[in-house]
Amino acid sequence: MNLLKTLAIAFAAFAVLAPARAIEPGERKNILDAIRPLAAQEANQPVRIKVDTLNVDSGWAVLVGNLVGPPGQYIDWDRSFSCKEDLDRMLWVVLHKNKKGWQVKHMDICASEPPYWYIEQYGGLVWPCGVYKGLQVGEETLETQCRRERSNK
């Protein structure tokens, strides 16, 4: 019985501390296809997505990037519903995968600073730690902070 309990604890720790898995091209396409219509609606025009960071972990995904226009065209930010002149043009999206596929849970197409700098506005480090990979806040990444918090519990 003690061996089973030890194995269960080890498996739970591994699940929390394991790195995010690699994203397959088909899954990447599905994620981008889930984002694009909502981003185009918010921008009030056709868009493409330039990905800087895309992390997937345990049915959750975080994308950081930018919106760009169709080939040969630029985004007319004056047409968007949420972009003000003084805001950066950063795309921030959090998605969750369910039986229907990837669903957008949070999306900003313009922000004055990276939304993840203020992760508490989303309830803190509530998603699997791997989705925060490479998202630098201060001296360390959110992934490092997340793993430290979860290993202390």
* pLDDT at 18 > cutoff 90: no
| Helix and strand numbers, DSSP H then E, in the chain | 3, 6
Per-residue model confidence as pLDDT tens digits over 59-71: 999 999 999 999 9
Strands (DSSP E) found in 1-153: 48-57, 60-68, 91-98, 101-108, 136-137, 140-141
Q: Is the pTM of this model over 0.75?
A: yes
Instruction: Tell me the C-alpha distance between 39 and 24, whole Å.
Output: 22
Of 101, 87, 34, 44, the residue nearest 69 (C-alpha): 44
Per-residue model confidence as pLDDT tens digits over 19-45: 455 788 899 999 999 999 999 999 999
Which class does domain 23-115 fall in?
alpha beta
Task: Enumerate the domain spans of the chain.
Answer: 23-115
